[in-house]
Amino acid sequence: MTTITKTLQATFAPPTAHKQSKLDELLKTYRDGLQEAFDAGVSTMSSVSEIVTPYDLPYQAKAALCNYVPKLRKTYHAKELDDSHPIRLTNQAAKFDHSEERDYEFTWWVPRPGRGTNFWIPLRINPEQEDLWHDLVAEDAKAGEIRLQKHRKNWVLHVTVEYPVEEPATDGDATHIGLDIGETALITGCALKDGSPTDPFVCSGSRAKHLRKEMHTTLKRLQERDASEWRIDERFGHYQNALTDTVEKASRQAVEYAKQFENPVLVMEDLTYIRERLDYGKYMNRRLHSWAFARLQGRIEDKATEAGIPVEYVNPAYTSQTCHS
């Protein structure tokens, strides 16, 4: 048996006006605390705690900040904060419930500061991840960090889970296949045979690049024209669906590429903190941050696991030296 780490994703069912205001307040307070701690240049958990303790945040958020902020400068050498940081919460906030009698069967107990202020929020889960949500509720899967991100009017919840699976077996020597996620080339893959790169694979990123550029331009134009909210949301949903389709097709191609080799093992970069590592100026950062690197990696991992192909993650440093082309 081996342990797999996976990120579950769910979208909030439309919250009431009261809950929406509480969520907005939580997000603003969290980002204010994060910014102050980052600007102070603190490098220890205790020094972060001194800064964020006065903030009106749930203890799960304060604990996550104490763990996260020191890493920003010491480990990831961040020079500035991205302005769309999600709320991070420790796994103590992983309280979920399930009932078939509800329209939205899964719910999350949203943590709030103070006693008696928490509230339940219905979740729209990814149907392909339903079994893992059941495991999470039953505590058969162990929850890790929780991230809550606001995308326009939608709130998206990401829950890291660990669960045991049968370890994919490889008979004989494994063929390691490196996959690099990028912008111009959505996926660049290359197998390593007898120590030498062979038979490269490239999935063009032109379609995704065009969609993201068009989405940004269209939404900006609609906002400048003071278009109705439903019109903006409709266009946003259109582009998100198109990008999702691109992710599904690209991840399928990558796994099919791996299948042609004997005893394949997929190897990808650990991009957990890519927002902090990228620093190419505001224009490039906006373009790169708008691309869901982790989302594409997640779908590749899902499809590889279904195909019985092991997946490994490595530190990105120096990985281009093996196949710099």
Question: pLDDT digits over 72-118, tens only?
Answer: 877 666 777 877 789 999 999 999 999 999 999 999 999 999 888 99
Averaged pLDDT for residues 64-75: 86
Q: Do residues 74 and 129 touch, judged by C-beta distance below 8 A?
A: no
Distances in Å between the Cα of 244 and the Cα atoms of 182, 227, 268, 286, 290 are 16, 25, 20, 19, 13
Angle (CA) 290-295-296 rounded to 5° is 100
Reported as a pLDDT band with limits 50, 70 and 90, residue 284 is: very low
Provide the 10 A C-beta neighbour count for residue 295: 17
Amino acid at 55: Y
- Residue 207 carries which side chain, given as an amino acid letter? R
Helix/strand/coil percent split, the chain, to 5: 45, 25, 30
CA distance 107 to 267: 34
C-beta separation of 244 from 212 below 8 A: no
0.85 surpassed by pTM: no
Asked whether the beta carbons of 22 and 148 are under 8 A apart, the reply is: no
Sign of CA dihedral 25, 28, 31, 33: negative
What is the pLDDT, as a whole number, of residue 283?
41
Distance CA 223, CA 320 (A): 41
Angle at 266 between CA 265 and CA 268, to 5 degrees: 145
Q: Which residues contact 136 (CB under 8 A, 6 or more apart)?
A: 8, 94, 96, 143, 159, 161
Bigger pLDDT: 2 vs 127? 127
